[in-house]
Chain A
Amino acid sequence: MPAAITNRFLDPAVLGEIAALDLIAKTVVEGFISGLHRSPDFGFSQEFAEYRAYTPGDDLRHVDWNVYARTEKAYLKRYRGETNTTLMVLLDASASMGFTSTAISKFDYAKYLASALVYLAHLQRDSAGLIVFHDDVANFVRPSARQGQLMRLLHGIDNAQIGTRTDYRRPFFELQQFLRRRGITVLISDFFEDPERIVETVEPLRFRGNELVLFHILDRRELEPKLGEPVLLRDMETGDALEVSPDYAHNEYRQKMNAHIENLRQKAQGAGLDYFLLPTDRPLDAGLREYFTVRKGRL
């Protein structure tokens, strides 16, 4: 793909016009991969890393027989990223994710992100799984690296429907039943919940050796609401209505929202979780590139 095109970040609205989710994922991933030299954490590629002396019990399939023929010593050939990681994507399908002020909703944006991640895992031959949840688990695709897994995941993401309220406890309880292997868990949500409660709920995954990443999806109007007059707002999850004045929305709401984001960021980092805010008006590939750049630097 020409550099001129790959260097141009993809507008979420442009992605919204692409019907096929696999094509969206491919477009996004190729877009940001072309800007990265290497993905250290997701690297399960066949790229050679080092030799290690054979010890009893090692799999003989990894012995480099050519070296043994020359040196009569057995060495195992190691490859970069050969960690056999499992990627589990948790997609929040609560009603609040249906909010939008632009061409695509938060849920659409979250779908694109999930698709991009599972596609990336597929490229690196990692096993990947999916849980779509709201107040219950709406869909579960068991992690696997088998052929056809990508299509199953994309199909699951594509068919995900907006549900009702968000409840992290139940889906995470079920998730713990399946995550027996060390892996990476990505939670995509708008996190309209008490940060402490969120972290308390997802933190147990971290103790099992999992790496947990929180992608916080918010609409620009949720971050900076603009009201020209007092309006009556209805909560998309609870159905409650409330009249809101422009002054409040402009001042106090923004303060509270910023405090919520900061609180969540601190709580997550305190618990060893990765936190990354993605407003829906931000190009997805640019967001992913930034995230991976930050992550690489931290490693």
Chain B
Amino acid sequence: MGFLSPWFLAGIAAIGLPLYVHLLRQYERTPQPFSSLMFFERRVQSSVKHRRLRYLMLLALRLALLVLLALAFANPFVNRTSAATHRRKLTVIALDRSFSMREGSRMTQAKAEAHRILSGLGGREPVQVVALDANIENLTPPEADHTVASAAIDSVESNDRASSFGEFTRALRVLDQSSGMRLDAHLISDMQQSSMPPNFRDLQLGPHTTLTLHSVGKRNEPNWAVNTVTTSAHVYDPKTTRLTTTVAGWQTGAATRNVTLVLDGKTLASKQVSVPANGRAEVQFTAFDVPYGSHRGEVRLAPADALPQDDVFPFSVERSDPSRLLFLYSGNRPQQVFYYKSAMDSAPDSGLIVQPLSLDQAGNVDFSKYAYVVLNDPGELDKSLAQSLCNYISHGGAALIAVGPNTVRAGRVPLSGDHIGGTHQIQGVGFVDAQHPAVVGTGRFENVQFSEAAWLTPKPDARVIAKLANGSPLLVEERMGEGRELIFASTLDNSTNDLPLHTSFVAFVVQSGHYLAGLEDVASSVTVGTPVTLRHSKDQSTAANVVGPDGKRALSLSEATKALTFDLTQNGFYDVQRANGHRALIAAHTDRRESDLTTAPAENLELWRNTGVTAAGNQNAAQETGEQQTRPWSLWRYALGVVLLAVLVESIFASRYLKEERQTA
């Protein structure tokens, strides 16, 4: 036992006060006059009358009160044996249900192993069943009823996700801290090397966790898979179609495989490819015919192996004519569109066609026909035109607004209403958010000079994509309903900057155009688990809809009106209709890391296991053998509780004595 604040023990000296009141004051007691003492006798207490403590109980209580108060402030503690040795045991049975568990009879073996572990537990020993893939799902709470756990084990089915031992370890650490129990974790998995996290520290188990690994399936099982498919999701000219696919083999010997390109179930082409041992080979399909519309494509590998699901790689492709964008210029200066149109036309397969139009003629235009609208230094817009554009953007449209001298004079950015504080003279670019899809691959606008740029004051929720050297926003993204607008602080010609004269201008025009047109995030195939954006705001006016690979609606009615994103959880094709009305056919494929059935080295698994409590004996084993690991346990709360009790009792006693004194008086 010790004290965390021992200086407060000096407060014990305060016990002198009640001692003075009770003991020393006796010497000052004045005798009471009485008529005659002839009937009284001298008793024993008379000889010790000045030493006798008055109200012994009251004195004891008051002394105890002061001592306890000083003790409470001194914060006493006792060294307490770690609770680990006294924790109850919780058995955690984790089943790997990742894609690789589809191989052969791995899942069946895993369930049998789980049942074997369950049957080996005591009758009422708590057990928890969890399922492991990229996330951890608790299938049961800590449950003493093993029939529930058994049913949960039977319900586990493999899915198309990848497994992550790092995520599993993190979940065990949380359970270790929150449950207050000693964890006896059993992981039943094929122990893929690809499931190990890149950083071994992510496998650190909690101090009260014992991990037992149960491996199922054969070690280092060979497997073939279509590893990648690369093609454009949009096809505008069938003559330029190109699809590149990679066939990979893990733990395989050199072999020749047959690769087939299928579109909507129809085989378009087939090729033989020689794959080296434990290697990969690339196959290209070109100039295959893609009809108009969205199509479900597959690259198939033959012959099939023990894990046939990864021998097929789904992808989606859509053929359409290029989208038109409307370039609105002010006054009678159609030359403003020159640089922008030239840049867009120079990019192959940009999928966008620039259509210039004077602002004066834009009054009756139906903007919904355009992928997006460019406003190049529009000045102050006509109210009806501005309203039409706002409606267009709010319902999923987009706009690129270039702020030139005309707009600076108006004082406000059209549509957004942002205040313009003036102009800058001769500035370079200081910052570019290279991660933003509107400027990906555009570089940092090196050597670009802006002779005149507007001083923008964006909204608080706006995202600044690029800044000038003096920190003023150069390119800003703002949301308006389901749509978005990019505000450029200069013009899109060379009247106020020399950007059109640099190669980065082409990339900027194309990337920002694709971003505004909604083409930037369209891939032919995405990995299972990727979230898909359904809406940009929680506006429930329009419902989104997702039809999964099984042909069923993947969203509930509530999710259809509220969900911002949706996770693609299965291998196959998703028909997605976003809240802004855009439709997309999205192909999702399993993470091909799951196709690598190479087992993690035994020494790595042993190291992982040893980060927790082991019988072999490491620093944590001491807890298991009862060796004392102590921690200070503060007692000040208890001391304070006793103080309050002493105060209560002292009040009762003091009240009683005072009553007697009044009676005596």
Contacts and interface: CB of A to CB of B under 8 A. Distances in A.
A243 B36 contact: no
State the majority secondary structure of interface residues on A. mixed
B38 A99 contact: no
Given A229-B660, A230-B45, A230-B49, A253 B31 contact: no
A225 B32 CA distance: 12
A229 B664 CA distance: 8
14 contacts: A192-B38, A228-B657, A228-B663, A229-B54, A229-B664, A230-B45, A231-B31, A231-B32, A231-B664, A232-B31, A234-B33, A236-B35, A240-B37, A243-B49
Given A230-B49, A242-B37, A249-B40, 9 more contacts: A96-B36, A192-B35, A228-B663, A229-B664, A230-B45, A231-B664, A237-B35, A244-B43, A248-B41
A260 interface: yes
B60 to A, nearest CB: 17
B46 A242 contact: yes
B266 interface: no
Contact of A245 (B45, B661, B664): B45
B7 interface: no
A261 B41 CA distance: 18
Contacts of B52: 230
Interface in A101-116: 106
A277 interface: no
Interface in A77-119: 96-99, 106
Contacts of A244: 40, 43
A256 B33 CA distance: 19
Interface size class of B (residues with CB under 8 A): 20 to 34
A242 B42 contact: yes
A243 B46 contact: yes
Max chain A C-beta neighbours (<10 A), residue from B35, B39, B42, B664: B35
A146 interface: no
A233 B41 contact: no
A242 B664 CA distance: 17
Max chain A C-beta neighbours (<10 A), residue from B29, B36, B37, B657: B36
Interface of A: 96-99, 106, 190, 192, 219, 222, 226-238, 240-245, 248-249, 252-253, 256-257, 260
Contact of B35 (A106, A229, A231, A248): A106
Contact of A235 (B29, B30, B37): B37
Nearest to B29: A232
B39 A260 contact: yes
A163 to B, nearest CB: 14
A97 B664 CA distance: 21
Given A230-B45, A245-B45, A235 B39 contact: no
A65 to B, nearest CB: 60
Contacts of B29: 232
Contacts of B31: 231-234, 241
A232 B49 contact: yes
A134 to B, nearest CB: 13
B20 interface: no
A166 to B, nearest CB: 9
Given A229-B664, A231-B32, A234-B31, A253 B40 contact: yes
Contacts of B36: 96, 190, 192, 235-237
Contacts of A234: 31-34
Given A226-B664, A243-B46, A232 B39 contact: no
Interface in B33-67: 33-43, 45-46, 49, 52, 54
A98 to B, nearest CB: 8
Contacts of B34: 99, 233-236
Max chain A C-beta neighbours (<10 A), residue from B37, B43, B54: B37
A233 B660 CA distance: 18
Contact of A99 (B35, B41, B661, B663): B35
Contacts of B663: 226, 228
Contact of A243 (B43, B657, B661, B664): B43
Contacts of B40: 233, 242, 244, 248-249, 253
Shortest 5 CB-CB distances between A and B: which pairs?
A: A228-B660, A99-B35, A192-B36, A96-B35, A228-B664
Nearest to B52: A230
Contacts of B54: 229
Contacts of A229: 54, 660-661, 664
Contacts of A106: 35
A260 B52 CA distance: 32
